[in-house]
A and B are shown apart, each in its own frame.
Chain A
């Protein structure tokens, strides 16, 4: 009987597999067309050659013919005698770290409040308010800040009115603080939404159990809520860190000075410059490799958490 049952279930399993494979097909096709193929093109350009006449890259699709010319050029700019990229890499990581920490510091309490204390009616309102920034493009939000931070803008007017500054501050000309705040402001909605989704799913019974076992509010938060928030925090940080590391737009708009330049700016410039597009492709792959580190950590940590939960 048991054998017959197994034999009957086997074709069914096959059908199920086919069904799920069909469901996954559009996604796989999408990923293939819009990620893997373009990525291979970037790789082919990075490992290709340069047309010395046209200054344009020649993509080399056959790995057997790949060259290291662009890689050498990239290395020259990182560690050669005329290298200039070291400080830019460090700055990019530093700005991203500070801005992400700021996002977390500001975003966590906001998400926590909405998830735990807002109440059903206010929760909807708060969620709408949290989503509201997405209705306006990132660029428009940055432009609004540009307007506010002008030398004759409202921020300077307020500072002078409150006697916090004697003369207008040059917020938009090479101020690292402006770029970091811009990054934090730009990406914080993503973090809050992810945190909210995670915090909202924490079973209130666990928190109540902590309280019943004699923990105070603060200790309950530290011993119960915060450990349970680890996964949403990691997801949220990942979602903000990844785009921040490649961001060029914020610096371009809110500083425009070389002392706040980030790696995204260098890649942007190189990809729009004949003779340098191959090198730009190399840096794009470098950046991708750097971004892989937090992504792999995230995947490993998520798997570990899942195993622990089981």
Chain B
């Protein structure tokens, strides 16, 4: 899952680029494209959702309650320790569109006396297809989503990392030294982290989700007809319906739960003429929408989109204080075909250093999970307005939050059907 596609959602921007939904919808196919079919097949056959380890020819589905440590393949070893950075090199980074601060890229190039080229993609599907085809040769693959990690490793498209080059991992939350999707962080370091919650205009909506008995039901209010929007993302929005109905297994295979969620969204459409888009970061600041199902990183950037004379304090973002809501993060990896693997390792390390991370967040909006990146620090650095401290992702959220992870194709079909009936092609 990726927030950049959120920025390129179903509104005006989506006319130029596919939506985040497009990626999510294709993620299963993407995984299979890279050879992860076995996991889905096995998952299909067992019908389970989490924690199952499948047969020898298939891939496991990592879950928080079923962590996975991937094998190191004999022909795909990490580079040796103590190597000097490549000279006169051009580090090639493959990244989502508009997902890294160019200032950070430039400062890395200056520090290591190299050139850096950033190439971009709009969907993970597109990126995987290019990597699979061998048409592209990059060093760093940035913003990789958890659900495609297994196939990338299994097909040996990414290489194991040598921890000796990445001392800054200690600056990251301890979770990322042994994350459930990559035990012992053999292949990945963390990049951004984000939550999905409810954004609202405090000056227009008088209910406070923090005092509501079921804040996930906040959009279901007919008095705000025409002023409500949900994310154009079948996993996120069906999850919203599930949580509204009190279900927090966001990878559920239960057909009746999925259908009930879809029905809840259809009711929402009838009640409020709900809009379906990923323009939370503009519509809430502009007051075009008063209640928007939203991504934390989008709302953290609200300050940049406020109309003249409207204080940012009018924007609110709710995420459950106990952390029981959708949390997502993505990763930095090094491709096996990297021609500058040492620089790539150094780049990984660079992106875990606090000053660089703060510079990156100041432009990117999306948080990075470092110990020192606290709500207070972001406010102090004037990166985040105090009123939007709730957009910050806390370690406890990552530990207790619920994640939308890869699901079996048969289940995916149910989710999609429910979404199509609810979204009616919008």
**Shortest Cβ distance from residue B294 to the other chain A in the assembled complex, whole angstroms:** 15
The answer to whether B37 touches A174 (Cβ under 8 A) is no
CB pair B409–A265 under 8 Å, yes or no, is no
What size tier do the contact residues of chain B reach? 35 or more
- The reply to whether the CB of A113 lies closer than 8 angstroms to some CB of chain B is no
Write the chain B residue with the least CB distance to A82: B421
Q: Which residues of A contact B425 (CB under 8 A)?
A: 88, 248, 261-270
Contact among B10, B28, B37, B227 for A173, CB-based, below 8 A: B227
In the complex, are the beta carbons of B273 and A259 less than 8 A apart? yes
* Chain A residues near B250 (CB-CB < 8 A): none
> 1/0 contact trace for B307-321 toward A, CB 8 Å?
100000000000000
Q: Is the CB of A256 within 8 A of B269?
A: no
- Asked if A84 and B41 sit within 8 Å, CB to CB, the answer is no
Number of A-B contacts (CB under 8 A): 122
How far is B404's CA from A202's CA once the two chains are assembled, in angstroms? 66
Chain A CB within 8 A of B217 CB: no
List residues 368-426 of chain B with CB under 8 A from any CB of chain A. Answer: 409-410, 412-413, 416-417, 420-426
Q: Residues of A contacting B10 with CB < 8 Å?
A: 252, 256
Q: Choose from B26, B226, B269, B275 the contact partner of A274 (Cβ within 8 Å).
A: B26
Q: B424 and A273: CB pair below 8 A?
A: no
**Chain B residues within 8 Å of A52, by CB:** 44, 409-410
Which of A114-128 touch B at CB < 8 Å?
none
- B276 close to chain A: CB less than 8 A: yes
User: Do A258 and B409 have beta carbons less than 8 Å apart?
Assistant: no
* B-side interface mostly: helix
Stretch at the interface among B11-19, B69-77, B296-304: B11-19
Contact pattern, B 25-52, Cβ under 8 Å of A = 1, otherwise 0: 1101100110001001100100000000
Assess whether B15 is in contact with A253, with CB atoms less than 8 Å apart. Answer: yes
Task: Name the A residues within 8 Å of B28 (CB-CB).
Answer: 54-55, 274
Tell me if B67 is interfacial: C-beta within 8 Å of chain A.
no
Q: How far is the CB of B272 from chain A (nearest CB, A)?
A: 9
Interface majority SS (helix, strand, loop, mixed), chain A: loop
Contact check, A256 vs B11: say whether CB atoms are below 8 A apart.
yes
Q: Given A143-B12, A174-B275 in contact, is the A272-B226 Cβ separation under 8 Å?
A: no
A173 to B37, CA, bound (A): 41
Docked Cα-Cα span, A64 to B44, in Å, equals: 30
B288 within 8 A of A: yes
Flag whether A275 is at the interface (Cβ < 8 A). yes
Bound CA–CA A261/B417 (angstroms):
17
From A151, A255, A272, B18 is in contact (CB under 8 Å) with: A272
Q: Choose among B14, B289, B426 the residue that contacts A258 (Cβ–Cβ < 8 A).
A: B426
**Which residues on the A side are within 8 Å of B422 (C-beta)?**
258
B22 close to A (CB within 8 Å): yes
From known contacts A151-B286, A272-B25, infer whether A261 and B426 are also in contact, taking CB-CB under 8 Å: yes
- The complex places the Cα of A299 from the Cα of B269 at a distance, in Å, of 41
Contact of A275 among B37, B40, B413 (CB under 8 A): B413
Sort chain A's interface into a size bin. 35 or more
Q: How far is the CA of A276 from the CA of B274 in the complex (A)?
A: 24
- State the Cβ distance, B31 to closest chain A Cβ, in Å: 10
Whether, in the assembled complex, A146 has its beta carbon less than 8 Å from a beta carbon of chain B, the answer is yes
Q: Which chain B positions have C-beta within 8 A of A263?
A: 425
A257 to B409: give the CA distance in the assembly, Å: 28
- CB-based contact B426/A88 at 8 Å: no
- Please determine whether B416 and A53 come into contact, CB atoms closer than 8 angstroms: no
Query: Which residues of chain B in 269-287 are interfacial with respect to chain A, using CB atoms and an 8 Å cutoff?
Result: 269, 273-277, 286-287
Q: Which residues of B contact A139 (CB under 8 A)?
A: 15
Q: Decide if A272 touches B22 in the complex (CB within 8 Å).
A: yes
- Cβ-neighbour of B37 out of A54, A77, A172 (below 8 A): A54
Residue of chain A at shortest CB distance from B40? A53
The minimal Cβ–Cβ distance linking B274 to chain A, given in whole angstroms, is 7
Please judge, given known A-B contacts A258-B276, A275-B412, whether A55 and B29 are in contact too, CB under 8 Å: yes
Query: By CB atoms of chain B within 10 A, which of A252, A263, A276 has the most?
Result: A252
How distant is the Cα of A251 from the Cα of B104 in the complex, in angstroms?
40
Contact digits for B152-185, partner A, Cβ 8 Å, 1 yes 0 no: 0000000000000000000000000000000000
Enumerate A135-154 residues with CB–CB distance to B below 8 Å: 139, 143, 146, 150-152
Which A residues lie within 8 Å of B410 (CB)? 52
Give CA–CA (A143, B275) in the complex, Å: 18
| Residue from the list B227, B274, B426 in contact with A252, Cβ < 8 A | B426
Closest to A272 in B: B22
Residue in A84, A249, A274 with the greatest tally of chain B CB atoms within 10 Å? A274
Contacts of A270 in B (CB 8 A): 420, 425
For B413, what are the chain A residues with a Cβ–Cβ distance below 8 Å? 55, 275
A-B contact pairs, 19 of them (CB 8 A): A52-B410, A53-B32, A53-B409, A55-B412, A143-B12, A152-B286, A170-B288, A249-B15, A253-B12, A255-B426, A257-B273, A258-B269, A259-B273, A266-B420, A269-B420, A269-B423, A274-B26, A274-B29, A275-B409
Chain B interface residues toward A at CB < 8 A: 10-12, 14-15, 18, 22, 25-26, 28-29, 32-33, 37, 40-41, 44, 226-227, 229, 269, 273-277, 286-289, 307, 409-410, 412-413, 416-417, 420-426
Nearest 9 Cβ contacts at the A-B interface: A265-B425, A266-B425, A174-B273, A261-B424, A170-B226, A258-B269, A258-B424, A269-B425, A173-B226
| New A-B pairs, 13, CB < 8 Å, besides A55-B28, A173-B226 | A52-B410, A55-B409, A88-B424, A151-B287, A151-B288, A170-B288, A249-B15, A256-B10, A257-B269, A257-B276, A266-B425, A273-B420, A276-B416
